[in-house]
């Protein structure tokens, strides 16, 4: 398996059918998801690990982690419709790779999920529609894992770095992306808008 092969698999997964404004549901581009997961893989944080994908949506990160050899993945998603899509994508992945994968789908608020895991990989809401939702996802991730990969807007960099430090974590790396937001809601005026984001890799200090 190489990054291009991973991207090819992820590109065959379905994105949100009926995205919800309040939940800031945007499908993650397969090339970005594959690049992020490949970086996590190179950091030795996927193979044999128990991983949580918080706000998993259609499951692109959790399913991609399983393709790369994760031991088990929890896909935690509040929206039941999105979770049904993730289950459909799971069956598609299993057919492509020719084996069953160990994914547990949980239809719940992330505040209700209290399992300890090795790694959290998440692309949370950016807090545009519901203030501080991005912060809530970070707090919950810190309560369950020592290693976290989390997407945030670059415009929040100072806040994220300060918040991470205050909670006993350090920023190990940042992976930068131009994240495409494709027109999916009535208020979008352009076909695709690109926003400057990064995936923070943060780790609890010893």
Q: What is the predicted pLDDT for the residue at 154? A: 93
- What pTM was estimated for this model as a whole? 0.89
The pLDDT score that the predictor gives to residue 185 is 44
Pairing of strands 119-122, 50-54: parallel
Q: pLDDT per position in the chain (206 positions), as tens? A: 899 999 999 999 987 566 544 545 567 889 999 999 999 999 999 999 999 999 998 999 999 999 999 999 999 999 888 899 999 999 999 999 999 999 999 999 999 999 999 999 999 886 545 556 788 899 999 999 999 999 999 999 999 999 999 999 999 999 999 887 765 544 445 567 788 999 999 999 97
**Helix-helix angle 80-97:60-67, to 10 degrees:** 20
Cα–Cα distance, 105 to 119 (Å, whole number)? 17
Q: How many CB atoms lie within 10 A of CB 16?
A: 17
* pLDDT score of 95: 97
Query: 7 — phi, psi (to 5°)?
Result: -60, -40
Both structure tokens of 142: 């810190």
Name the phi and psi angles at 59, rounded to 5.
Answer: 90, 20
What is the structure's pLDDT at 88? Answer: 95
Q: Would you say 47 and 41 are in contact if contact means Cβ atoms under 8 Å apart? A: yes
Partners of 107 in the beta sheet?
77
Return the half-sphere exposure (C-beta side, CA atoms, 13 A cut-off) of residue 156. Answer: 21
Q: Which residues pair with 148 in a beta bridge?
A: 120, 202
């Amino acid at each position: 398996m190489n990054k291009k092969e991973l991207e090819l698999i992820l590109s065959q997964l379905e994105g949100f059918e009926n995205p919800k404004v309040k939940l800031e549901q945007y499908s993650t581009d397969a090339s970005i998801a594959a690049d992020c997961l490949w970086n996590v893989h190179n950091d030795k944080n996927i193979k044999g690990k128990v991983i949580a994908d918080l706000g998993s949506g259609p499951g692109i990160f959790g399913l991609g982690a399983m393709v790369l050899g994760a031991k088990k993945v929890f896909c935690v998603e509040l929206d039941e419709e999105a979770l049904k899509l993730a289950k459909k994508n799971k069956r598609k992945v299993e057919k492509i790779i020719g084996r069953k994968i160990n994914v547990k789908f949980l239809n719940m608020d992330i505040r209700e999920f209290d399992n300890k895991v090795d790694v959290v990989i998440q692309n949370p809401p950016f807090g545009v529609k519901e203030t501080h939702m991005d912060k809530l996802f970070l707090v919950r991730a810190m309560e369950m894992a020592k290693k976290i990969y989390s997407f945030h807007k670059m415009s929040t960099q100072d806040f994220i770095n300060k918040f991470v430090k205050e909670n006993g974590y350090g920023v190990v790396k940042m992976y930068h992306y131009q994240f495409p937001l494709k027109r999916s809601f009535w208020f979008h005026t352009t076909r695709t808008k690109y926003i400057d984001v990064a995936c923070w890799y943060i780790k609890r200090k010893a």
